[in-house]
């Protein structure tokens, strides 16, 4: 049995007042959008709960939105935010490491690594096990500035 969709209208007194909830997911995280945390004494406190699945924001279907796009919909809501949710449908993700953000939605090609480093343009040096030099020249390429005869200097 599925939980029915509930439309919730949340109002705040001013634009500077936060809505009072944290959201997780989005197509860039390959997770459905859901409520992660609700802060006490905020407009969302008695309306939303951790684990509620977000289906629409201001009438816009969120199934194809990135996390940032969903945030922008919420920020542009003004003084009243309308959410379509399913209560308690999703489990909370408690990561053991920082979240991985994908550049492409699921099924649209490989994702770039999230560590921020570009992959090497070409392999550096010979493959493992092929860099031994019986002449005692070491593993560094010519012109590197160090040879076995160069002492270590501080």
The neighbour count for residue 88, using CB atoms within 10 Å, is 14
Residue 31 CA to residue 28 CA, distance in Å, equals: 8
- Determine the pLDDT at residue 2: 73
Tokens representing residue 92 in the block: 């909370």
- Determine the pLDDT at residue 66: 96
pTM of the model: 0.60
Using one digit for the tens of pLDDT, what is the confidence trace for 14-68?
999 999 999 999 999 999 999 999 999 999 999 999 999 999 999 999 999 999 9
Q: Would you say 8 and 91 are in contact if contact means Cβ atoms under 8 Å apart?
A: no
Residue 91 CA to residue 115 CA, distance in Å, equals: 26
- Determine the pLDDT at residue 131: 55
Using one digit for the tens of pLDDT, what is the confidence trace for 104-148?
555 555 555 555 555 555 555 655 555 555 555 555 555 555 555
What is the average pLDDT across 62-85? 96
């Amino acid at each position: 049995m599925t939980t029915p969709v509930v439309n919730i209208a949340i109002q705040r007194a001013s634009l500077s007042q936060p809505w009072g909830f944290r959201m997780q997911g989005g197509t860039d995280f390959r997770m459905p959008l859901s409520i992660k945390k609700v802060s006490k004494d905020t407009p969302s406190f008695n309306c939303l709960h951790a684990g509620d699945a977000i289906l629409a924001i201001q009438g816009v279907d969120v199934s194809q939105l990135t996390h940032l796009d969903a945030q922008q919909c919420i920020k542009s809501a003004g003084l009243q935010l309308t959410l379509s949710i399913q209560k308690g449908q999703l489990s909370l993700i408690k990561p053991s490491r920082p979240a991985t953000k994908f550049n492409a939605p699921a099924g649209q090609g490989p994702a770039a690594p999230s560590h921020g480093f570009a992959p090497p343009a070409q392999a550096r040096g010979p493959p493992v096990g092929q860099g031994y030099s019986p002449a005692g020249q070491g593993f560094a390429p010519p012109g590197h500035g160090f040879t076995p005869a160069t002492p270590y200097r501080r």
